[in-house]
Amino acid sequence: MRTVEWHNNGVRMIDQKRIPWELTHVDLSTYQQVAAAITDMTVRGAPAIGAAAAFGMALAAQNSTAQNLAALITDLEQAAHTLKAARPTAVNLAWAVDHMMKLAHNTPHTTVDDLRQALLKEAQRIADEDVAINRRMGEHGANLIKEGFTVLHHCNTGALATVDHGTALGVIRSAFEQGRKFHVLLDETRPRLQGSRLSAWELEQLGIPYHIIPDTAAGYFMQKGEVDLVLVGADRIVANGDFANKIGTYQIAVLAKENDIPFYTVAPTSTIDLTIATGKHIPIEERDPSEVLAPYGNALVPGHFKARNPAFDVTPHRYLTGIVTENGIAYPPFDESLRAIVK
């Protein structure tokens, strides 16, 4: 099954807020509902967000009452603004929306229905291509996992974070499908627990051995020599190789460097943003403090206590061993290798 897809003239997606307790879908009939689903993390993971946004743009076109192309493009521009504002850090979101707007502006169409169909076809292509790209990343990265390894993974980067298969967890899945035996340590990934809720659920379905560990235990296992490789995803990789990923990634990278453990991020080239020079310029989303104080509505402390909730941090490129993409693995110097791999 796919995380997000076009279904009955609308967007259907897995409700990731309900996993692992139940597997349910939500059906969305407006682009505003798609934007809200991205914001509240019904759908999450940079590639999945990109595909959802592309379908959201197609949905905006389907629902528009415009009678001419100019009016339809005006409606699409409004949808683009709403969707891009849903979450600022993941570059795949803006990439997908801008791609759909470029098609609307630059491809000749004779009628509004022609443009509507073209946008839906392109959104479907983006979704299908994501699955193919993930499988290629899996093939490039699988050999990093040797027989008997223990791999540390942060957040969720599997099929749920993409349209299907996954990025960093996709590499793990591909190595497992090739017959390799290994073990995975899953950071729980507070405050939304994507590691303990989503990644563990996915590995359960696949039959891959794992243990959930507290975020604060990563250094303990590294220091004991029980981690051979670290694989994480990325929401935005910039020109020098700095990258933004789920909060907690930076400290894992520092610990991996200290303990001489290879540390890779796995992401499609659509996540690479060569327009930004360094990670200092990546916008970082700060979410509602209630996610820290009362995760999933379960109060841990009194509601008037103060908290901050950055959703991402930036890992400097000096901590990276390499970047796995669908076009191969980029190694330092990243300012050269990333440009080559994007081309």
Length of the chain, please? 343
Give the count of domains, the chain: 2
Q: Which residues pair with 42 in a beta bridge?
A: none
| Residue pLDDT, tens place only, 96-124 | 999 999 999 987 888 999 999 999 999 99
Q: pLDDT value at position 110?
A: 82
Whether residue 193 sits in one domain with residue 45? no
168 and 234, same domain (yes or no):
yes
Domain co-membership, 279 together with 250: yes
Q: Is the peptide bond before 191 cis (omega within 30 degrees of 0)?
A: yes
Tokens 């001419």 -> residue: 68
Same domain (yes/no): 78, 145: no
Asked which of 113, 135, 157 is the last residue of a domain, the reply is 135
Q: Are residues 15 and 84 located together in one domain of the fold? A: yes
Q: How many helices (H) and strands (E) does the chain have?
A: 12, 14
d(CA 203, CA 223): 25
Each residue of 287-303: pLDDT tens digit?
999 999 999 889 999 99
| Distance from C-alpha of 107 to C-alpha of 139, rounded to nearest angstrom | 34
**Per-residue pLDDT at 1:** 76
Coil/strand/helix, residue 312? strand
Please tell me whether residues 251 and 115 are part of one structural domain: no
- pLDDT, mean of each 10-residue run, the chain (343 residues): 94 96 97 97 94 98 95 96 91 93 88 95 97 97 98 97 97 98 98 97 97 98 98 97 98 98 96 96 94 93 96 98 98 98 93
User: Are 173 and 260 within one domain?
Assistant: yes
Cβ-proximal residues to 164 (8 Å cutoff; 6+ apart), any chain: 1, 2, 3, 130, 131, 134
Domain boundary among 85, 100, 135: 135
Q: Which letter does DSSP use for residue 217 in this model? A: G
Distances in Å between the alpha carbon of 160 and those of 136, 177, 185, 192, 339? 17, 18, 18, 14, 28
Instruction: Compute and round to an integer the Cα radius of gyration of the chain.
Output: 20
Instruction: Give residue 89's pLDDT.
Output: 81
Domain boundary among 135, 155, 181: 135
Q: Residue 118 belongs to what domain range?
A: 4-135
Q: Could you tell me the CATH number of the domain that includes residue 212?
A: 3.40.50.10470
- Looking at the structure, tell me whether residues 204 and 110 fall in a common domain: no
Q: What one-letter code names the amino acid at 74? A: T
pTM for the predicted model, two decimal places? 0.92
Active site residues: 235
Closest CA to 311 of 284, 292, 291, 289: 284
Run of H or E residues at 207 = none
Question: CB of 190 within 8 A of CB of 159?
Answer: no
Residues 34 and 171 in one domain: no
Return the CATH number at 117. 1.20.120.420
Cα 241 to Cα 46, 49, 147, 169, 263: the distances in Å are: 17, 22, 29, 21, 13
Pair (256, 189) in one structural domain: yes
**Residues 288, 158 share a domain:** yes
111 and 257 inside one domain: no
